[in-house]
């Protein structure tokens, strides 16, 4: 039994399948220091149009409450428009996770209007409202690009409570838990409005999990053991029922199935007895599966908890 299973009192089981999360590739125009998938411009793993077609058929069959599209930078997959259009036109609720600056890359400039036309919700990475912090985490000029895109999205109706949702995502800049989501959201809304005239719907706080580039940095600085102790000692049992792995399945760029994007990053497939790929998908088996866990899962249950939808407790 690993340290996470010991905390939750045994194996963790799925509860339902509300969210179909799809990682359409690891190619990205940034190489963020906290990226769990270690995405970058040098990565060439992208989901094929054929795999996207199979996922759209699966979504039609199981009718999830949300199709959550992530990457990498999803916009850099040349097949994304057709995939989003097929899902939206079939009546699915679609959400795309964007780093904002990717929509300024060549060939991607029409994505804001396309997303708005299709009613796609956007979850945008914005790890701080201060320029120096964002550029340190994500690269030079990323902050300025993000602000330009946020203003453009606001101009299309995003973040104004008119049906086009725009959420921002905060990640800590170092080995610490996020502050309270509600209070930080107030700070973000005040600062983004006063500095740039930018509005948005919600702020989502996400803990940096001890994997990928973030863990490599911790190890290089000798802080990995201390961070793991912080996660372990901050375990919050109230977060367990809402853990994202219990309510979703993650589809990798190659069609393989995972409990979450973090397990995908670690190459941890679904447990024995559960489908391993799209070709083997079985809804009953999915909702009855045992979740594959490890010490990294403590990041999702520390403090107020963390998921792709933000804090889990309070």
Report the alpha-carbon distance of residue 255 to residue 253 in Å, rounded.
6
Per-residue model confidence (pLDDT) at position 314: 64
Single out the residue of 35, 81, 52, 62 nearest to residue 254, CA to CA: 52
Percentage of the chain beyond pLDDT 90 is 91
User: Which whole number is the average pLDDT over 162-185?
Assistant: 94
Instruction: Decide: 45 and 27 in contact? Cβ < 8 Å.
Output: yes
38: left (phi over 0), alpha (psi -120 to 50) or beta: left
pLDDT digits 0-9 by tens, 73-130? 999 999 999 999 999 999 999 999 999 999 999 999 999 999 999 999 999 999 889 8
User: Which whole number is the average pLDDT over 187-195?
Assistant: 96
292: pLDDT strictly greater than 70: yes
27: pLDDT strictly greater than 70: yes
Label residue 10 by pLDDT band (50, 70, 90): confident
H or E element, residue 66: strand 66-70
Percentage of the chain beyond pLDDT 70 is 100
The vertex-5 CA angle with 253 and 174, nearest 5°, equals 65
235: left (phi over 0), alpha (psi -120 to 50) or beta: beta
Report the alpha-carbon distance of residue 114 to residue 18 in Å, rounded.
25
């Amino acid at each position: 039994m690993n340290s996470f299973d010991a905390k939750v009192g045994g194996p963790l089981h799925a509860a339902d399948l509300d969210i179909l999360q799809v990682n359409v590739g690891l190619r990205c125009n940034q190489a963020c220091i906290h990226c769990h998938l270690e995405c970058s411009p040098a990565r060439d793993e992208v989901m094929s149009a054929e795999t996207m077609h199979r996922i759209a058929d699966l979504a039609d069959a199981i009718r999830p409450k949300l199709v959550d599209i992530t990457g990498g930078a999803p916009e850099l997959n040349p097949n994304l428009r057709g995939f989003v259009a097929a899902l939206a036109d079939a009546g699915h609720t679609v959400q795309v996770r964007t780093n904002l600056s990717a929509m300024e890359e060549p060939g991607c400039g029409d994505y804001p209007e396309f997303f708005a036309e299709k009613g796609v919700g956007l979850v945008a990475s914005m790890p701080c409202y201060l320029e120096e912090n964002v550029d340190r985490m994500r690269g030079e000029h990323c902050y300025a690009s993000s602000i330009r895109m946020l203003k453009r999205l606001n101009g299309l109706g995003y973040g104004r409570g008119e049906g086009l949702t725009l959420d921002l995502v905060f990640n800590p800049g170092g080995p610490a838990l996020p502050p309270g989501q509600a209070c930080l959201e107030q700070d973000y809304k005040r600062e983004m409005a006063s500095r740039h005239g930018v509005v948005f719907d919600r702020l989502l706080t996400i803990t940096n999990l001890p994997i990928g580039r973030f863990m490599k940095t911790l190890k290089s600085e000798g802080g990995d053991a201390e961070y793991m102790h912080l996660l372990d000692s901050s375990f919050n049992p109230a977060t367990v029922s809402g853990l994202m792995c219990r309510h979703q399945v993650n589809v990798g760029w190659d069609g393989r199935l995972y409990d979450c994007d973090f397990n995908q990053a670690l190459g941890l497939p679904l447990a024995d007895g559960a489908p391993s790929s799209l070709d083997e998908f079985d809804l009953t088996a999915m909702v009855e599966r045992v979740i594959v866990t490890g010490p990294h899962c403590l990041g999702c249950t520390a403090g107020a908890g963390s998921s792709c939808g933000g804090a889990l407790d309070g």
